[in-house]
Structure 1
């Protein structure tokens, strides 16, 4: 806020140029106060603040003291960070002249430094009342509004500053920063380009243009502006990271790592540059190289969250569970509210089937962010693994409450209710999912299966047909349609359809089970025992190949009795 104070003394100095001239003017009775003010200003400009302070104080103590003396005293203290003292002197200046716009502006800036928001707003307003065309006042008011988060007011004030001085790039540059922070990259780009039109070698404007284009995924343009920024400021590391990560996004591995080599040749090295290189290693599946970089960064600074978290992701990718666990816990030690880290740790425990540990971290995550929907999924899956379907359903329902368009929650709920034989609730959830996304084959398939379980056979057949329209080679849907044909008393058609898949799926359990169902339906319809032998052969094949099955065993026993009875009668 007070960066321009170093230039103030030049504006104040209106009488003479050299200290010796001030000494001679000080001998004049008519302007002693002004003489000391300007003498102090020259001393301040040369860096001699102690002597400058003495001259300003001498001027302030005179009977005919000017407000400028107190203003300059305030500036000296403001530059030292003693804002309360600066405020006192700016107020003294205003006691001499309460229409002095510059004193009001400086007072406003000092108030903003001590977070006196209301007083700062008031002082800026009064300053502009007395001087409506002051570029610096509008500029600093814009900075003040930005600081307190009033972005629109900041942009308005900065626009006024630009209109007053269109040859000064700072106002439009700061406007670009505000737009960029709000992720309004289109307007940010306009402002930064305007800054470059005013100041063609404005390296920061060039860099931020590169950054905005990078955020818009316009990587080629981002690279171009980063190169221009690098030409204007060869030591700015962010130019190298923008270029390298843009090449990374363009999947140009050689050019990506060439940038890091160029940075090394330029003698540049920093945490930020190494971290960026580690991220690029990850992007190109060079996980061991990434691990080496992040471990080195952690050795240099063990308190950095980003490098520990990046290291944990590398370990997770390589399925190094123990190392990943250690790094994730380290991240949470450094940043206990790192919700994504909590989620990854919980997922790791869930993968290892450590359900209680997983539930603990999911719930800890939800305590920090109740709308983290994936955590509800995780808890539900953990309870499902524990065999606690009631709690699983409870947490899938919560996920659905927070996101009633969430297909995953609806499908999981449908299947969970189906596992509990609650066909009514299963059908309700499946139908809701279908209404949200009728073009999702998984959704339509789930809906069809539940319809079939509820003996809504013709509706199920319609949905299985829809699945095949969306995904023509989806064999489970074709097998489901074959099952529907069996249930609608068309077993021979079903068997003919099955023959098309014998070579590829003849040894699959689903195929053999459908054959069994078809034979059973024919036996039921024709009421004779000539198929008993085939049915028993299929039952034996299922039990010997795929293991115990109580239903198949019961079918086998039933047809053995039928066969025995037939032999006795014969």
Structure 2
């Protein structure tokens, strides 16, 4: 929910040429004079601008009650100044007096219906109460009367986002940028909307056109890089991030995402170096430590990986990925019992992550804790039934205990969820042959080869002795020769 409480400034109505209210010293003198009036229980006259400075003083001091008292004095002396009704509405919002805020805005509108501040504030108030359609009507009115409308277009885009209408949000974000190409918020919100709509190609097209007009916009290059990254165009994304960094050297987010792109290209050591560059411009957080740990893990440098994962969880004890990473490094070193503690911690923090349950089940199985392993695999399959690796390992747990029928039953469930997964059919061939169900095994082999003949090696990797079976070889040769 986007909600901005506008700090509206009332128009100048100078009655006293002795004061320059843009001068902080004169503003201080006005506050002192007002407080003297209150102490003396007297009545002094202040022009509208002086009252505004006094009100803002108490707002800055986070004292809306005193600010409201000043507004009352201001309205007594300037009863037809709509700007004070607007200010009063703002203060009522700050003090959670919504009904009174609406009432003051209505009064202001009767006095000065062409004041865009009225509609902006009312629009914000309505949007904060999720009255989206009414908020839009008010923002549209503000557009009619305001001189600078790029921020209003941005507010309208926020409303459409909150309504789930991202297409209309895109339209108004573009309007905002047409008026003010340097509106960074609009640039980033546009990238967000394209992401939600899964319109990365449209996003790339827009930012490329934008960069043609504004080649030195670091935000545009950054967002272009993000779109390339999501499209899997990693080299192009790196180039875009490099341009963003060239324009804004301390752009830590661009370094970080460049590192992510390098990870996608398996260039892990380069990614680590880029991640380290962010340290020059902002304090490292748990996420970047975790990303560096993952790079070292992929490089099979487990001591270094574990060191960075530990830094991550020390900084953020609720980072499930960090705890999981520590478990993975221990698992790699065959320290399965130790890994269980860290997998459990990760699961406690993120119980619907299939990968965590899968790894937990794998370690339990390696320790011979078959019941606990099966339970974990079952949970993993429940969370992500489309992950074929889960079904393969889950069924294999029973097959290796010579419980072939149980393995077949589990794999059958996996095939129901993944009817086009060739590797599941190849594994079923192995199970069926082992149980003496030769005709069914050949039938599954035909299914597997029809789905993906290139994966036939899966069968021999699991049951090498089948390479000597002439019938199986003949069937395979019909598909691959």
Secondary structure at 2:58 match in 1: helix
- Check 1:204–1:464 CA distance in 2 against 1; reply closer, same or farther (3 A cut): same
- Check 1:201–1:77 CA distance in 2 against 1; reply closer, same or farther (3 A cut): closer
Picking from 148, 153, 160, the partner of 2:96 is 153
TM-score with structure 2 setting the length: 0.73
Secondary structure at 2:376 match in 1: helix
Distance 2:183 2:390 in 1: 49
433-442 vs 465-474, greater mean Cα deviation: 433-442
Number of aligned residue pairs? 447
Runs of 5+ in structure 2 lacking a partner?
1-5, 471-481
- Check 1:270–1:83 CA distance in 2 against 1; reply closer, same or farther (3 A cut): farther
Equivalent positions of 1:472-487 (< 5 A) are: 472-485=419-432
Distance 2:165 2:455 in 1: 52
Picking from 158, 162, 182, the partner of 2:105 is 162
Residue of structure 1 in register with 2:24 after alignment: 80
Distance 2:410 2:331 in 1: 28
Distance 1:91 1:98 in 2: 11
Secondary structure at 1:7 match in 2: coil
- Check 1:406–1:78 CA distance in 2 against 1; reply closer, same or farther (3 A cut): same
Picking from 395, 398, 402, the partner of 2:345 is 398
- Check 1:322–1:479 CA distance in 2 against 1; reply closer, same or farther (3 A cut): closer
- Is 1:173 equivalent to 2:173 in the alignment? no
Equivalent positions of 1:105-144 (< 5 A) are: 107-113=54-60, 115=61, 117=62, 119-124=63-68, 127-128=71-72, 136-137=83-84, 139-140=86-87
- Is 1:386 equivalent to 2:333 in the alignment? yes
- Listed one character per residue, the Cα deviations across residues 326-349 of structure 1 (whole Å, up to 9, x for unaligned) are 221121342224333223222212
Secondary structure at 1:153 match in 2: coil
Secondary structure at 2:377 match in 1: helix
Distance 2:218 2:164 in 1: 24
Do 1:377 and 1:399's aligned partners in 2 also have CA atoms closer than 8 Å? yes
Per-residue deviation at 1:84? 5.7
Residue of structure 1 in register with 2:476 after alignment: none
Distance 2:429 2:282 in 1: 56
Residue of structure 2 in register with 1:525 after alignment: none
Distance 2:253 2:206 in 1: 25
Do 2:328 and 2:339's aligned partners in 1 also have CA atoms closer than 8 Å? yes
Do 1:243 and 1:256's aligned partners in 2 also have CA atoms closer than 8 Å? no
Residue of structure 1 in register with 2:478 after alignment: none
- Check 1:429–1:511 CA distance in 2 against 1; reply closer, same or farther (3 A cut): same
- Listed one character per residue, the Cα deviations across residues 470-508 of structure 1 (whole Å, up to 9, x for unaligned) are 2234344445545554565x3554665577589858984
Distance 2:53 2:36 in 1: 12
- Is 1:261 equivalent to 2:247 in the alignment? no
- Listed one character per residue, the Cα deviations across residues 167-212 of structure 1 (whole Å, up to 9, x for unaligned) are 2322442465678899998776555334335549733212332455
- Check 1:294–1:491 CA distance in 2 against 1; reply closer, same or farther (3 A cut): closer
- Check 1:121–1:321 CA distance in 2 against 1; reply closer, same or farther (3 A cut): same
Do 2:237 and 2:258's aligned partners in 1 also have CA atoms closer than 8 Å? yes
455-464 vs 498-507, greater mean Cα deviation: 498-507
- Is 1:428 equivalent to 2:372 in the alignment? no
Distance 1:98 1:343 in 2: 64
Per-residue deviation at 1:423? 0.6
Per-residue deviation at 1:413? 0.9
- Check 1:183–1:377 CA distance in 2 against 1; reply closer, same or farther (3 A cut): farther
Equivalent positions of 1:349-360 (< 5 A) are: 349-360=296-307
- Is 1:363 equivalent to 2:310 in the alignment? yes
- Check 1:254–1:275 CA distance in 2 against 1; reply closer, same or farther (3 A cut): closer
Aligned CA-pair RMSD? 4.7
- Listed one character per residue, the Cα deviations across residues 58-102 of structure 1 (whole Å, up to 9, x for unaligned) are xxxxxxxxxxxxxxxxxx567517766543222123334479998
- Is 1:89 equivalent to 2:33 in the alignment? yes
TM-score with structure 1 setting the length: 0.63
- Check 1:318–1:8 CA distance in 2 against 1; reply closer, same or farther (3 A cut): farther
Distance 2:354 2:12 in 1: 62
Residue of structure 2 in register with 1:376 after alignment: 323
Picking from 285, 305, 326, the partner of 2:273 is 326
- Listed one character per residue, the Cα deviations across residues 493-540 of structure 1 (whole Å, up to 9, x for unaligned) are 46655775898589847448758599xxxxxxxxxxxxxxx89x9xxx
Do 2:358 and 2:390's aligned partners in 1 also have CA atoms closer than 8 Å? yes
- Check 1:141–1:230 CA distance in 2 against 1; reply closer, same or farther (3 A cut): same
Residue of structure 2 in register with 1:57 after alignment: none
Do 1:418 and 1:426's aligned partners in 2 also have CA atoms closer than 8 Å? yes
Do 1:143 and 1:154's aligned partners in 2 also have CA atoms closer than 8 Å? no
Structure number with larger C-alpha Rg: 1
Secondary structure at 2:34 match in 1: helix
Per-residue deviation at 1:422? 1.1
Runs of 5+ in structure 1 lacking a partner?
10-37, 44-51, 54-75, 519-533, 538-570
Picking from 1, 4, 9, the partner of 2:9 is 4
- Listed one character per residue, the Cα deviations across residues 286-342 of structure 1 (whole Å, up to 9, x for unaligned) are 655654554455455433323333443344444444443222112134222433322
194-203 vs 299-308, greater mean Cα deviation: 194-203
Distance 2:399 2:75 in 1: 80
